[in-house]
Structure 1
């Protein structure tokens, strides 16, 4: 697999193509992978690939301007100039300055910058410094944290140089082929009737060169063998036992067979058995293939272009922050002019009124929001990194918490991505150790390349000792596997009086060479003639195993005379069918509890896979995922967007999907109001990863998947994902706390300012007081990212709801105004601050009460429970709020009061303060209970 990842990294670090070409390719992918039907004509890429699959070889060679002996150097150079290098577009890291700009640009930062500029022009240097400090801190914090995360993600990739074995001829004058001693190819026989090219591998080797894969062009002939990566989209010319893994492209865990024969018309691209796709790899066998598409013209290249060319729609987090930002900005735009007009008319000093209104605007604007959001997300990223989660984009953490639908592939996520021997049964489906013994002997003694099924059988290592292979068995001969017979045999000698020919292979082909069936009953085993009734029974049993998602291999044997030492295909006759071995990619042990935990936390899991529905249903049953409906890729293709949206809601298992099917499903779910996460690691998952609110991949994924993802798991486990979801909800909950606290307290302050401005002969608080109070309050909020979160709050997904925040602001804001007005009355009637000469005393009194109530509200509305009793804030938040309350009292009471244009308050004032705070706590608690009963709490 490292080889696999290396090749993709080489592709993905290559240069960009033009944007015009990228947009054209993006449009070309709209129907990618669909078969041609009268109702749905394929896009140009699919049409060309299907044509390459169905044409005979001479026609295809002629269309590509190639030859049965490959291209000449001149032809290859001309093709390279026409088609460009065999490189795939990828998303390059943003330049530092552009990344910094993206970290800065949001409505609040822009508004704060404008306020800072106005403050500077009005010679209010303190406000300018405070506001700009907030902007710079939030921007740099996001820039540094995201930079670290991106560098961590980049370190997951590796870079190597890759080459391909290509048949090239030297050019001669006029581009005529003049053979040289080093490159004289053997004469090539005529094409075979089936369309395959009959050129031998020995002949092909005569003109072989190792070239960088970037230099491949359409028309080139490449030579492939086990372990090779497919360097471009190719048509198979010759094949010997060719097995190709397409799991990254289709999601199927088992390799598929590839042949040289032309495909029948009507097949889909990914099902064409004579096409090879860039990025897949050869598991076993060898082949020569004709390059039909390179770079961004390949299936993989088109997906990569779609990932990098499509601009992201705003995620749920971005849309939520923007909506809340504009809600508060609109509120400020309405209230600030009212404050300006009221103070201008009542006080007569419009300049002072303007400065006061500007201070109110700063106070209304939650300037700490960008910093609180960024620091909360950064803290979440640090905590997630300890749980084997690399966060590439900070916004994704909140989407983790808001996610209510998780779409996941099957292979390697729900399953172990490893083939296991699930059953070994007799012909009627009962467990049989004899069948396992014969299957083990067959896999152990074959000398060819052992496939995944052989390795699954050989994992029963205890049989090697039980069978005493070295002492009791001797290999006599073998009959290798081929794709015509679809079986292989070994001949062993256990005793000198006979040999045993043990054969395993595909059920239908095995039945053709069997004449008897071994039936095991209570009385013992007996071999019965294979008549039509028994044949039907065998097919019924194997069909039942297939319906359970198992891949079935039949096992048969016969005894032969001891004098024979050489065996051939003709000896595979007259066998006795013993039983079957059945294989499965089993689910991970952690999958079932993870699914249960996700369901308990309100996350619906939907399976989107390229594998077949039988295997997928089997896995779903084993992990306890209740199937609510199965939809196949061909059904998705036939649906319009409205029908697909309904199907996406009502079904939870989707199989045989193309990459664009997955993307359409994700977009349909998002359009239905869901916050959608998608977890995948293959080429076929990249478009869906980009389309989701949160794309989740793993460090072992192909690079295009890691590039499209927002979060990378260092362990491919849903349990790790579930932990990330909960951490995301804690992060989101703490952000909501700050927004609610700030919005409601700011609303209350403005309401109090309006009341005071209408009746007082002086300003209720100077602009300096508002700024200092606002700064102290904001400093106390820095500890919010470290606050505890009640378990009940994060039990279900959390979502942005500007309407709820607006309602919360209007509901709780006036509560503080009630006690602000009480403070005005106390200062006016009890302490004689009823004239312009006593305005400093009045302002000092409200400064203290205003700051204490603002800070106390942090604890009152950080939890739906009773604060300090049922739910206690974290130590950092308790410390920060207590310290700020102490500082708020010290400023007017200490030696610095004059610098802030305040004065010491009489000690008799503080019992009134305690009474006001106590009343504030009681009323807020009562109103909170009422609010929760009526509107709930998230």
Structure 2
């Protein structure tokens, strides 16, 4: 294969020949063969650390290295059992940390794979979507407005194609593309028949043959590929690191103080050194960032199941504090299945039955069924079919559409009358068209019609138009009425305008249709090429009727919006629809409430920034707006201190998605550019999925806080136990190996299980947390001190009880050792929720935690009763009465927290906060 850089100077046939491809595209076998030859269509990344290197890295901590050194010294001094136990616990801790970090890495890789962009290709004559990394030289790719170009390619067909190459060349204006061969001396920047990886389609559509992939593309020399997800430290992890360092410094100071006291009280220097290091290891939450990353990763995977794909982990934090959601209407709040419900034809309003895209239904005037052979109905629906680019088809027993939903609704209505596009296109072929544009607000086609005069009173070359009622009516001078073409009087025009308003008041989108017979000397070719002005064709039209359609709200959205209101989140609708239509839908969904305002784009333009900011909190609906208006809405809310989520799907939405705190792109209708600019992608384009993601985001943050508080209380308890025991009784209540073991088994499985705690019923009945609020607040520190102090108190009760009975030091240490472990297991159940009773949540609704606690208990029993471990950990068996004392004291950790939750719940009820028990 020749140098990929010179295909621009070849005719299309030569390009096909050299790349070994036809207009049917590559075969699957050939594509697979080329994928092995050229590799995946990705830029090479920095080599990842192997699993072995990742495992070894777990032992680079200063404290861990000190422990390993201490074990060596112990061995040299003849304390082989101590040395073995220290090495064993260090090894297990390393394995646990490795597993956590490895799972975190896999969670990140899952994110990368889920957000891998797709490309539309032609293979074996059929269109199909594949991951863009599977593209190979010779593939035929289809591109359209909003797509990100997935590989370097030579254009073979194009229709008004323009690409934004600013990311490659710095050129700010879109570049007009062509399929024509260029002279061989054409500079790279002027090769207009080529498209390049990473650039975007600004306008039009086309087909191109891939000439280079991966590192061979023009972007191959640049660092990084646009749209990939990089693994970066999240603000949450940074916050945790600061917290860990603060705890670590405080702990080291306390440990050093207590260790020096121990030496002064006569304990051996080496024992106190080893003990001090062990306590420091136990008290400093080194594994916390890894556990948090796993928690975030697992949460993101749960979000995927709820149709919300978070592209970057920091966005999970943003979800928890979001208090404004600005949503598009069509497809997000509604079903995006436009259904024609009413027709206005021959001065009569007809009702159309049937919903969705199934072409089943009838036409009624009042309660009387109207014949589909009615000449006026046929004239209206014929224009709706012929002046239309959509299609409907049945697949897997479901009716699907191809093209614009509004056009598809017209097609479905016509199909209910027996008018099918596939048949009519053959019978009345389209000879030319004047395409729809947002400026013109109409579309016109020229068709050759040879119809029975009884069914349709026109023959020859006929222009059919459809579009906005005010535009169509403005171009009409006649009307098809009572079987004749009559003059459109001002009175009839006013009557039609009234019908438009009446339909709009019923939240219907109204499309007007018209037709006109053209002189035979008008050349369709000149019309298509722009040789005849549109105004000349689209004048003196005959008005045929109105079609009112509605995109019904999604059934689950109304509940989701109420959830948002309960959660202190304001929902705002932003749409290009008419103000009346938008307001009607918003009222039905519960977005537009009494005293709320609706604002149009033109009204927004007339407001100064200060005036708009003063009103923004009262505006719930924006109608007839453009994407640029979204930026003003975001800016106004941000200045008020709100955290804003914004949805979008088009190319022009990208700036707003980037400007929002949480940019949300549509996975189905969204363009590649909008997805790339977003923080999250909705795989089902459903507003309810945003609310589900907010719920998951809040839950993830709640779980992280809860297992941090769980760990904090354990570390505080251990330090307090030793500090008070040495100061008060000059006794070491726990050995170094026992402290290491507690740290290993209590900081291992339970926090992981707490990270998968499902959302409780109150997570969406709380106001969003303050964006300035850190992960660890005074509330968590107070809870950690409270529970930690309680565990210390339990241990001191055990200590005095054991001393009163003259127990040996081994028995005393075994009792405290076991008490701390069991107390922490009770504590794990406390932190499933900081508000709700474990009994209202259900004991077994978090099965991973039950398994984690049972596993930890079994491990502790092994240490107490298996002779080998008894020797290693200096433990002795406990009697039933001793177990009774241990369990009775340990259970107070759960009982006391239940009492706190109970009285806190009663206090909230008195203050009018509502129920806090989910049961």
2:278 corresponds to? 359
The CA distance in 2 between the partners of 1:509 and 1:667, in whole Å, is 34
Is contact 2:236–2:314 with CA below 8 Å preserved after alignment?
yes
Question: 1:465-614 to 2 correspondence within 5 Å?
Answer: 465=418, 481=434, 493-495=451-453, 499-500=457-458, 504-505=465-466, 507=469, 511=473, 514=476, 530-539=488-497, 541-542=499-500, 552-555=510-513, 577-582=543-548, 587-600=553-566, 603-608=569-574
Q: Out of 815, 822, 825, which is 1:845 matched to?
A: 815
Q: Deviations over 1:379-429 (max 9, x none)?
A: 434444444555544555565556544343344323455665454225878
Q: Out of 870, 887, 901, which is 1:897 matched to?
A: 870
1:681 corresponds to? 649
Matched, 1:154 2:112: no
1:749 corresponds to? 718
Q: Deviations over 1:449-474 (max 9, x none)?
A: 99956554232244553899999x98
Could you say which structure has the greater relative contact order, defined with CA pairs below 8 angstroms and 6 or more residues apart? Answer: 1
Q: Out of 816, 823, 841, which is 2:798 matched to?
A: 823
The CA distance in 1 between the partners of 2:611 and 2:564, in whole Å, is 27
Query: Displacement of 1:313 after TM fit?
Result: 11
Query: Displacement of 1:279 after TM fit?
Result: 1.8
After TM superposition, the structure 1 stretch with the greater mean CA deviation from structure 2, 867-876 or 750-759, is 867-876
Is contact 1:487–1:510 with CA below 8 Å preserved after alignment?
no
Matched, 1:442 2:410: no
Q: Deviations over 1:688-740 (max 9, x none)?
A: 54555555445443333334445444322234444444444544443333222
| Cα distance change on mapping 1:544 and 1:319 into 2, 3 Å | farther
Question: 1:13-28 to 2 correspondence within 5 Å?
Answer: none
1:141 corresponds to? 103
2:61 corresponds to? 113
Aligned pair count? 730
Question: 1:395-406 to 2 correspondence within 5 Å?
Answer: 396=315, 400=319, 403-406=322-325
Question: 1:341-356 to 2 correspondence within 5 Å?
Answer: 341-347=260-266, 351-356=270-275
Query: Displacement of 1:94 after TM fit?
Result: 5.6
Is contact 2:115–2:228 with CA below 8 Å preserved after alignment?
no
Query: Displacement of 1:771 after TM fit?
Result: 0.8
After TM superposition, the structure 1 stretch with the greater mean CA deviation from structure 2, 767-776 or 810-819, is 810-819
1:458 corresponds to? 411
Matched, 1:806 2:781: yes
Query: Displacement of 1:843 after TM fit?
Result: 1.7
1:339 corresponds to? 258
Is contact 1:733–1:798 with CA below 8 Å preserved after alignment?
no
Query: Displacement of 1:610 after TM fit?
Result: 6.9
| Cα distance change on mapping 1:665 and 1:98 into 2, 3 Å | farther
Is contact 2:384–2:466 with CA below 8 Å preserved after alignment?
no
Structure 1 unaligned segments of length 5 or more: list them: 1-13, 16-89, 166-210, 217-221, 239-276, 285-294, 297-303
Q: Out of 392, 413, 422, which is 2:332 matched to?
A: 413
Is contact 1:113–1:131 with CA below 8 Å preserved after alignment?
no
2:168 corresponds to? none
Query: Displacement of 1:328 after TM fit?
Result: 4.0
| Cα distance change on mapping 1:337 and 1:404 into 2, 3 Å | farther
The CA distance in 1 between the partners of 2:203 and 2:767, in whole Å, is 40
| Cα distance change on mapping 1:591 and 1:933 into 2, 3 Å | closer
| Cα distance change on mapping 1:354 and 1:630 into 2, 3 Å | farther
The CA distance in 2 between the partners of 1:478 and 1:142, in whole Å, is 59
2:26 corresponds to? none
The CA distance in 1 between the partners of 2:556 and 2:407, in whole Å, is 26
The CA distance in 2 between the partners of 1:616 and 1:625, in whole Å, is 10
Query: Displacement of 1:96 after TM fit?
Result: 4.4
The CA distance in 2 between the partners of 1:812 and 1:669, in whole Å, is 40
Q: TM-score, normalised to structure 1's length?
A: 0.63
Is contact 1:401–1:797 with CA below 8 Å preserved after alignment?
no
Give SS of 1:754's match.
helix
Query: Displacement of 1:909 after TM fit?
Result: 3.0
1:703 corresponds to? 672
Query: Aligned-pair RMSD on alpha carbons?
Result: 5.6
1:259 corresponds to? none
The CA distance in 1 between the partners of 2:492 and 2:502, in whole Å, is 15
Q: Deviations over 1:564-622 (max 9, x none)?
A: 98889999987764532345666545544443455455544334567776665465345
The CA distance in 2 between the partners of 1:102 and 1:536, in whole Å, is 79
Query: Displacement of 1:917 after TM fit?
Result: 3.5
Q: TM-score, normalised to structure 2's length?
A: 0.64
Is contact 1:439–1:504 with CA below 8 Å preserved after alignment?
no
The CA distance in 1 between the partners of 2:117 and 2:589, in whole Å, is 34
2:890 corresponds to? 917
Query: Displacement of 1:826 after TM fit?
Result: 0.6
